[in-house]
Amino acid sequence: MLREVNFDGIIGPTHHFGGLGVGNVASQSNRARVSRPRDAALEGLNKAWLIAQLGIPQVLLPPLMRPDRDFLSSLGYKGNLSSQLKEAYETEPQILSAAMSASAMWTANAATVSPTTDTADGRLHITPANLISSLHRAQEARERTEMFRNLWHSSDDVVVHDPLPSVLQMRDEGAANHLRLCDSTGERGIEIFVSGDSESGEFHTQRFAIRQTWATGKAIRRLHKLDPQRCFQLQQSAQAIDTGVFHNDVISTAHEHLWFMHEVAFTEDDTNFAEIERVFENRTATRMKRIVIHSSELSLLAAVKTYLFNSQIVTLPKEDPREPSRFHWIAPQQCEANPDSRALLERWCRDSELSLEKLHYVSLQESMSNGGGPACLRLRIPLNRQQMSSLPPGLFLDAEQYHRVHDWIVKWYPEHLALSDLTDVMLVEHLQQAVLAYPYRSYFVRPARDEFHTI
């Protein structure tokens, strides 16, 4: 039996509203708003703690060091830190915003994962996303690769690949555009890659650029040694992307045998989905439950505003793998405030076939204002017993870790932040010290003599 571990990114102390997200309506509409980094980090921590209290293994990934001095230097901003901050803000504030971005908190974009039971060599495969569609996110690829490799440096059955080449044809945004459906043990499943273009590379968006390509899915399928008979690729509809569906996880979500999608999520017709359902049933001896939400039930715009499909579905622990799964649904509070999304959730909870035991509404106001819901904050990694036992016990979120991280956030994080504040070199050095002081950083980052430069 595989156990799904949730890896959540801790929201960094430089969290601000830069409006940098390509096709991300919430991010762009809240640009230049004063942020609340302390509240943001505590909201994310409390969401992760809810998952841990439900008995699901939960890991927190540390925030990344910002700014990346090399990134600023590569764009022509030389000199000491104080000079870099001042010149970037005065000449091109968007560059300073990108250099200070805390976007690594949306860990669903960090990588694509295939568990041991899907791969031909029986190893867990992780491909960190190159994230080249956005200047602020492309910095993360190297850092996340190093973190995953440090965590599994002694595991022969875990392969952490290099990110795909940083070229437009290989734009990759990780698990936000990847679905895995499986049986109740997690062992037998199929994988689905979602892109903004077709197999021929065509796309028809009018408003926003696509952020994932068909060629990316094919490359990851090869790298992960996946059986092409159990892999599928789907294309997002141009209408969805132009409405603000910059990732598949804003319009579709899957967990075990359940697959929820809006009717305009994909370009494919019922024939394609029937084939996916047939292969899934042959692979898992389980019937897929595909729930299609029509525009009359929830408009496309409401789906984007509420982030209903960016909810997080989890399976409660069970002693015997043969036990039927019991699910909890974690939705953003915006779903509760919208009558249509609330009605859908309440209806699904009454449907005994879905086994949705409980619905939780969580407050993620700061993340949602930047376009990130509960599922954006986590990367799901299914691990077997050996892989679970190889991880350090103190890695998993428990009450002691929760309180230590809570106290660290309260001590180090600013209550309010505007981009102009990040020209203050003393504040920036304080925030860098905060990242270094994260109490569980050593699990992921090897100590370095000079992790950041002072003035």
**334-348, pLDDT tens digit by residue?**
999 999 999 999 999
The answer, yes or no, to whether residue 452 has pLDDT greater than 70, is: no
Q: What is the pLDDT of residue 271?
A: 96
The number of beta carbons lying within 10 Å of the beta carbon of residue 275 is 12
Q: How do 327-332 and 356-362 pair as beta strands?
A: parallel
| pTM recorded for the entire structure | 0.96
Question: Is 376 marked active-site?
Answer: yes
The residue type of 246 is: F
* Active-site position among 15, 16, 224, 247: 247
| Measured distance CA(360)–CA(310) in Å, rounded | 13
Query: Do residues 175 and 217 make contact, with C-beta atoms less than 8 angstroms apart?
Result: no
- Give the fold, CATH level 3, of 3-66+101-443: L-arginine/glycine Amidinotransferase; Chain A (3.75.10)
Alpha-carbon distance values, 63 to 94, 104, 174, 368 (Å): 21, 7, 18, 18
The token duo for 210 is 């696509």
- Mean pLDDT over 395-422 rounds to 98
* Active-site position among 182, 231, 335, 376: 376
Half-sphere exposure of 450 (CA within 13 A, CB side): 5
Going across the sheet that includes 252-255, the strands are 252-255, 258-262, 289-293
Alpha-carbon distance values, 139 to 142, 163, 417 (Å): 7, 12, 22
**255-306, pLDDT tens digit by residue?**
999 999 999 999 999 999 999 999 999 999 999 999 999 999 999 999 999 9
The answer, yes or no, to whether residue 448 has pLDDT greater than 90, is: no
**32-43, pLDDT tens digit by residue?**
799 999 999 999
Q: What is the pLDDT of residue 231?
A: 98
Going across the sheet that includes 124-128, the strands are 111-114, 124-128, 158-160
Q: What is the pLDDT of residue 32?
A: 75
* Active-site position among 173, 191, 256, 277: 173
Q: Which of 290, 230, 229 is nearest to 265 (CA)?
A: 290
| Measured distance CA(98)–CA(268) in Å, rounded | 36
| Measured distance CA(118)–CA(165) in Å, rounded | 24
Q: Residues with Cβ < 8 Å from 368, sequence gap 6 or more?
A: 26, 307, 332, 334
The answer, yes or no, to whether residue 455 has pLDDT greater than 60, is: no
The angle subtended at Cα 178 by Cα 228 and Cα 4, nearest 5°, is 100
Split at pLDDT 50, 70, 90, the class of 311 is very high
Domain boundaries, the chain: 3-66+101-443
Q: Higher pLDDT residue, 27 or 407?
A: 407
Helix (H) or strand (E) holding 409: helix 399-412
Split at pLDDT 50, 70, 90, the class of 319 is confident
| Measured distance CA(257)–CA(264) in Å, rounded | 21
Query: Do residues 378 and 176 make contact, with C-beta atoms less than 8 angstroms apart?
Result: no
| Measured distance CA(113)–CA(174) in Å, rounded | 8
Q: Is 200 left (phi over 0), alpha (psi -120 to 50) or beta?
A: alpha
- Mean pLDDT over 56-79 rounds to 96
Q: Which of 201, 30, 186, 53 is nearest to 113 (CA)?
A: 186
